[in-house]
Structure 1
Amino acid sequence: MTRLQVLGLTLAATFLATATVHAEGDKAAGRKLVYTCNGCHGVVGYENAYPQYPVPKIAGQNQQFIINALHEYQSGERKHPTMTAQAQSLSDKDIEDIAAYLSSLAK
């Protein structure tokens, strides 16, 4: 291998390693924060009144997905009045903690 190839492989490996790193979050703190989430997301068969659709279950969901979704509600990229209000009240640490806890649960 040439030096350029080794350098390229090293850079690629470094990029992939850092791209998969995500916040850990504190599961115990997250467990305390999800009480408001359970009001909708924890009720079996619960549906939104208007427009009518099933409320998604978030227990067991991918941690990074939860983090991304809550940040998207904060920024307005995702739109839902209740979720926007809930997300805007959370700090980045709160979001990481909630995501750590919810992703640790069985689906």
Structure 2
Amino acid sequence: MTGDAATGRQLTYTCQGCHGVEGYRNIYPHYHVPMIGGQSPEYLVNALHEYKRGTRRHPTMQAQAQSFTDQDIADIAAFLSELSK
């Protein structure tokens, strides 16, 4: 499935609070939050599908991922993978 980065940019709005896409800063600096910008699209798609299925556990991420369609996940991965590390 091909993702659309422009749509993905809109879908990642809520991601920025914790993952802090710009500059990799987050609002909770006292715990580790993975850098997602610049990751490979395959990694991002797999991670979001694992959260959606519940095979990767984190309450916030599971709730977020369950709200995404497969196309949403592809779009998010397309956008985030284009960002530089």
TM-score (norm 2): 0.88
2:4 aligned residue: 26
2:53 aligned residue: 75
Following superposition, which runs of at least 4 residues in structure 1 exceed 3 angstroms of deviation?
45-49
Q: CA RMSD in A?
A: 1.7
Higher relative contact order (CA 8 A, sep 6+): 2
The number of residues matched between the two structures is 82
Distance in 1 (CA, whole Å) between partners of 2:27 and 2:35 is 10
Structure of larger gyration radius? 1
Structure 1: runs of 5 or more not aligned: 1-22
1:5-48 Cα deviation digits (max 9, x unpaired): xxxxxxxxxxxxxxxxxx33000000010000111001516547
Identity of aligned residues (%): 57
* 2:1 is the counterpart of 1:44: no
> Secondary structure of the residue that 1:58 maps to in structure 2?
coil
Structure 2: runs of 5 or more not aligned: none
TM-score (norm 1): 0.71
Distance in 1 (CA, whole Å) between partners of 2:55 and 2:69 is 17
